[in-house]
Amino acid sequence: MNVPHILLSGIVGSTAYGLAHAGSDVDRLGVFAVPTQKLHGLHPPKESLVGTDPDRTFHEAAKWCQLALGGNPSVTELVWLADELYEVRTPLGDELIGIRASFLSAPRVRAAYLGYATQQVRRLESKGDRDPSADVRRRTAKHARHLKRLCHQGLELYSTGQLTVRLEDPQDYRAFGEHVAEDATVARSLLRHYENAFDEARCVLPQEPDEAAAESWLHRVRAHFYAPEAAPTR
């Protein structure tokens, strides 16, 4: 998969969280820009490029901004990674990291993180009498680990305005995953705990994100990649 004009990319997912094991995939996420001229043609370019082996997801600059403004946890973590996890950092990518707080808002962070967590709980509960095979147990434990991670990171972002991607105690999340593989009701209990914690937290985020900062950055991206076509010769 050829990705043009990468602005920022890094290693995300289990490796970034500290939850990876020997067989874990290495996930990469990034932001790219299409040449500005191509945005005005009959056939708009793809907004997202996804590939496997290695697993990579790249969003065009405008699409990334839209997702981040909506509080999407997967794209949000890209601008909160530890320095050593970045593989491409351009000046425009550094600018994006510099305005990361402008994408945050209280209702959207809460809705996105608890929304994803609720989806995870429903997946776990819908399994019913689960197949006791080792493969199913592994998948269940994995989903449960990420349920707890979403709840924890979402509450941190909501109450402090900061996101720590690397988990302080990965083993605690692994143990929770195994617990849910034995008893799925534990997942619902965790979700209720965090719903109450969000209700009781003193939120530091604004009610609306600062779209003007995102818009200004996107304009700089478009200006940087604008190359007008030469006038035809006679």
CATH no., domain 6-103+210-224: 3.30.460
Taking the domains of the chain in order of start, what are their residue ranges? 6-103+210-224, 106-200
What is the value of pTM for the model shown? 0.91
pLDDT of residue 127: 67
For the four alpha carbons of 193, 194, 196 and 200, in that order, the dihedral sign comes to positive
Whether the Cβ atoms of residue 106 and residue 126 lie closer than 8 Å to each other: no
Closest CA to 58 of 33, 84, 93, 89: 33
pLDDT of residue 113: 97
Whether the Cβ atoms of residue 181 and residue 121 lie closer than 8 Å to each other: no
pLDDT of residue 41: 85
Give me the average pLDDT of each 10-residue run along the chain (234 residues): 93 94 88 93 91 90 98 97 97 98 98 95 74 77 94 98 96 96 93 98 97 98 83 52
pLDDT of residue 233: 53
pLDDT of residue 234: 56
Whether the Cβ atoms of residue 1 and residue 11 lie closer than 8 Å to each other: no
pLDDT of residue 152: 97
